[in-house]
Amino acid sequence: MQGRQKLTQGGMLGGRGARALVLAFLYCFFALTLSTVAEAKTAKVLGARLGVYPDKTRFVIDLDSEVDYTYFLLPDPFRIIIDMPEIDWSAPPGKVTSGGGLISGLRYGLFKPGTFRVVLDVSKPALISKIFTLPASGGKPNRLVIDIAPTSRDTFMAASRESMAAYSARQRNDTSVTEKSEDVAVETGKTTGPRKPLIAIDAGHGGVDPGTIGVGGIYEKDITLAAARELAKVLTDSGRYRALLTRDKDVFLKLRQRTEIARKNHADLFLSLHADSISDPNHRGASVYTLSENASDKEASALASKENKADVIAGIDLSEENSLVQSILIDLAQRETMNLSSNFATDMVRELASDVKLQQRTHRFAGFAVLKAPDIPSALFEMGYLSNPTDAKLLQSPAHREKMAKAILRALDDYFKTHKF
């Protein structure tokens, strides 16, 4: 939301030079969107490099086969986003992640099935002056070469708007993006007997959005996925629940997609798993959050805005939602749901308390976007602090995650004793 509003700021083109640059940019953009490389096998990344020159920064990805690509630009912060068909980037990125020249950072991951996304953070407004692929030759592999040159903010803003419009038009024409979100969701524990409650387990972050990065470079997205899988197993093994994983792989999901998956599958409860980080390495402990109308707790709302950033980072949502209608609908349905969510959170805190170190005020309220399904009781579990060595170690331990899962199972048993499903 924030990103979209900011897109409409920005001034008009500044002068003829700027216009020529934008036209050159547009020409490249359309030319490259039209050139489709027939690609059957998944290209594998062999490595990535940065070259810093006086007039440009060159970013090169080495691949074992040819790859198709498109790109667009986003401001505030300035980013260049390159989308490719699903590729395999398991090779270590080396020093490139910390940037150099105009590039201040690199992130990448599966954005959605079929689309791999590379995000280049640029330290100031910059345009792609050249982008091209080179076939393997002379012992060198296939290469995707991206040259980035500085520009003015106005030129960047104009180029960004144009690139977003082209991206949006392409999405409308591209049937592969109408792909159902359930494609990445996995349900377990189905049986033919009486209906069992369906628990939607949402592994926070994923794909191009790593979430917080903890001590030893562990990614929140990996911890949440491991914990989600273990929780699903504990719940289905009990024979009393079905589990729905919003994602069972390292893929990016928009926050709204996560609740949509739960709603489409008629989940009875939604639990989002996360881990936090903070500058104080001694700070540790888990917390359970539910939604409130006005996030009055300062810390809780700061955390919510941090978690909600995922969509600004990479989930560029170009579908115009009517936020007023949405907020009225949410308001009507949400009061009852908020009470149920709160009941479940209380059960969770009580059961977790015997096994897990909790923060002092542990059931807190905040405006998490991911908890806004108006009709499904929802909670967000911050399992601990990846910035704390003890918490980080525990959260990497399957035994500890199982302990948390069993506490959640007891909480669910309590909750469904008094609430129908």
Instruction: Tell me which residues touch Zn ion (CB under 5 A).
Output: 204, 211, 274, 307
Q: Which tokens hold the place of 375?
A: 């009709």
Q: Whose Cβ is closer to Zn ion: residue 307's or residue 347's? A: 307
What is the distance of C-alpha 365 from the center of its chain? 22
Q: What letter would DSSP give residue 209?
A: B
Q: What letter would DSSP give residue 198?
A: E
Q: In the complex, which residue's CB is closest to Zn ion?
A: 274
Closest separation in Å from C-beta 380 to Zn ion? 8
Q: Which tokens hold the place of 221?
A: 């997205």
142: helix, strand or coil: strand
Euclidean distance between CA atoms 275 and 381, whole angstroms: 8
Torsion angle of C-alpha atoms 17, 20, 21, 24, degrees rounded to 10: -160
Closest separation in Å from C-beta 359 to Zn ion? 15
Q: How far apart are the first and last CA of the chain?
A: 33
Sign of CA dihedral 50, 113, 163, 28: positive
251: helix, strand or coil: strand
List of residues 6+ apart from 4 with CB closer than 8 A? 317
Residue count (the chain): 421
Which burial class, exposed, middle or buried, applies to 321 when counting CB atoms under 10 A from its CB (0-12, 13-18, 19+)? exposed
Whole-number CA gyration radius for the chain: 23
